[in-house]
Amino acid sequence: MNITIGSNIKALRDKKRITQKQLATYLGVTEQAVSRWESGGGYPDIGLLPSIASFFSVSTDELLGISSDERAQRLAE
């Protein structure tokens, strides 16, 4: 599985028209941390995933790049 969380965060942030700084402030992290995630230089702490998903009104699966079809297929297996 290819981890796409950084590009997903960037796309969601762009869609919501907020800055990295605004997202960082909401999450209690630095703007540089958000930049690092989006550029693929690191990943958010696992404890932040629910907050990030909630902020963008998506599931953690969607945030991680797992489609509902893929999730259904995995559950069937």
pLDDT tens string, the chain, 77 residues long: the values are 567 899 999 999 999 999 999 999 999 999 999 999 999 999 999 999 999 999 999 999 899 988 767 666 767 77
CA dihedral 49, 51, 57, 63 (to 10 degrees): -10
Q: Please give the Cα distance from 31 to 21 (Å, whole number).
A: 5
For the record, the structure tokens of 60 come out as: 């953690």
Q: Please give the Cα distance from 46 to 3 (Å, whole number).
A: 13
Q: What is the pTM of this model?
A: 0.83
Element (H, E) at 49: helix 49-56
